[in-house]
Each structure stands twice: as structure tokens, then as C-alpha cells.
Amino acid sequence: MKKRVYRVRMQYIFEGVFEVVAKSREEARQKVIQNCGLVLAWNIRSTLPDEEVNWAFSTHPDVRTGRITVQEEQTE
């Protein structure tokens, strides 16, 4: 029986907010861009001090499957 290798495009969408202490919208935006993010298989992260940031994200992403293509056939 022949098996195939399939490439499945996926999107994992985490949506939430970072609350940061800042003097302006632009400063808040820059702080989040430069200091906050998500590391797969790890956690939501921030390099800002705890008193300057708080976050609220669902730990269950919206999962979307995209196009599926055959990469190659394999024989057993």
C-alpha cells in the first residue's frame, strides 16, 4: 500500500490583550511590539517588569486548517 506525505497548512490564532503602563498610545504600542509575545510550547511572555504589564489571552487558540497538498509518495 502506498502512503503519501501531506503538507497541511495551519493557523493557530491566539487573541488577547496586553495592558501596559505608558505615557502615550505610541509608547504602549512600542512596548508591546518590543517586549511582549508568545513562545510556542512555552508561554505568553513579557520582558517588562510585572508592575508595568498584565495580559489576558485564551490558552485555546482558534485553529484553522488551510490547503492540503501532496508532497511525495512513499512505498512500504
Q: What is the pLDDT of residues 8-31, one digit of tens each?
A: 888 888 888 899 999 999 999 999
Residue 11 lies in a domain: no
Residue 27 lies in a domain: yes
Residue 53 lies in a domain: yes
Q: Is the pTM of this model over 0.85?
A: no
Beta bridge partners of 45: 37
Domain count, the chain: 1
Q: What is the pLDDT of residues 55-64, one digit of tens each?
A: 777 777 888 8
Residue 6 lies in a domain: no
Beta bridge partners of 13: 62
Q: What count of other Cβ atoms lies within 10 Å of the Cβ of residue 20?
A: 19
Residue 58 lies in a domain: yes
Residue 38's Cβ-count burial label (10 Å; 0-12, 13-18, 19+) is middle
Q: What is the pLDDT of residues 31-75, one digit of tens each?
A: 999 998 877 666 667 788 888 888 777 777 888 888 888 887 666
- The confidence score (pLDDT) of residue 74 equals 66
Residue 72 lies in a domain: no
Q: Which domain holds residue 62?
A: 17-66
- The confidence score (pLDDT) of residue 41 equals 63
Residue 54 lies in a domain: yes
Residue 39 lies in a domain: yes
